[in-house]
Amino acid sequence: MSGTGPVIVDARGHRCPVPSLRLRRAMTGLAPGTQLTLLATDAMARIDVPWLMSEIGGRMIGIEEVDGVLSLTVETPAAPTD
């Protein structure tokens, strides 16, 4: 294990749909199974991010809230298999 944490995507202060769009853009080109953590202050991210993960085949790992900031941890979709 390399010891590096998840990729951080900071969308604090932005309203829906910006946090989900930033997360999706950040996932582009990342290896399958890469973890990302979205930081968001818009409560809609609790709904939007799990929906996005279901749409693209990614995985929700967890949602935490501390002092009004949501931390949504996700994993990029697995590589397609033929």
For 12-42, the DSSP string reads TTPPTTHHHHHHHHHHTTPPTT-EEEEEE--
Q: Give this prediction's pTM.
A: 0.90
Min mean pLDDT across 46-50, 72-76, 78-82 is at 78-82
φ, ψ at 21 (rounded to 5°): -65, -40
Strand partners, 9: 38
C-alpha separations of 27 from 66, 68, 69, 74, 75 in Å: 24, 24, 21, 10, 9
Average pLDDT over residues 33-55: 97
Contacts of 20 (CB under 8 A, 6+ apart): 45, 48, 49, 52
Given a cut of 50, whether residue 33 has pLDDT beyond it is yes
Q: Which pLDDT does position 66 carry in this prediction?
A: 97
* 59 phi and psi angles, rounded to 5 deg: -130, 130
pLDDT (average), residues 27-44? 96
